[in-house]
Amino acid sequence: MNLAGLKRKIRKLKQFEKTIRANEGIKSDVPLVWDKFFDLHDVRESAPEPAPDGKTLYTLPKLAAMSREEYKSVVDDFFAHVYYEVYVYSGIIGATIYDPAILAQLGLPPVADEMAVKKKFRELAKKYHPDAGGDHEEFVALMRIYRELSKPV
């Protein structure tokens, strides 16, 4: 895919997110998920405004180098984050919907359910538990992630 066509597709995602937010009544001052995901500036353009955390996940060259399946996975992940934000803002989030960013830290897909989270946690807990020869720091980090997923929204 050429860079101009790719830019158009990614910009359409931004417009779609804005439409979803407008339909849900989300104020325009709430940061877009798109800004955390995509940076369409290339090296010849002026420096973009950084995402709130200081970096974006996907630059234009990185997106251009992806296979069709990888690109589809990025778009799916993007929409999971958008709808998670909408659900949180609207107060309609259920107990079994998890923050996709936290799920990614565990290596789980954005649509992972409670059983998948528990299974992955047990697997990683066995691996990192200090009594089983695992890394103490990794185990503490895992416990923080699990606590974050377990707290009610």
Q: Is residue 95 part of a domain?
A: no
Question: Cβ-count burial of 54 within 10 angstroms (0-12 exposed, 13-18 middle, 19+ buried)?
Answer: exposed
SS3 27: coil
pLDDT over 70 at 73, yes or no: yes
pTM: 0.62
Last residue of a domain, one of 66, 90, 114: 90
Residue 110 shares a structural domain with residue 145: yes
Q: Is residue 19 part of a domain?
A: yes
Torsions phi, psi of 59, nearest 5?
A: -95, 165
pLDDT tens, 107-120?
A: 888 878 888 888 99
Tell me which residue range forms the domain holding 77. 3-90
pLDDT over 70 at 53, yes or no: no
Last residue of a domain, one of 62, 90, 118: 90
Place of tokens 């699990």: 146
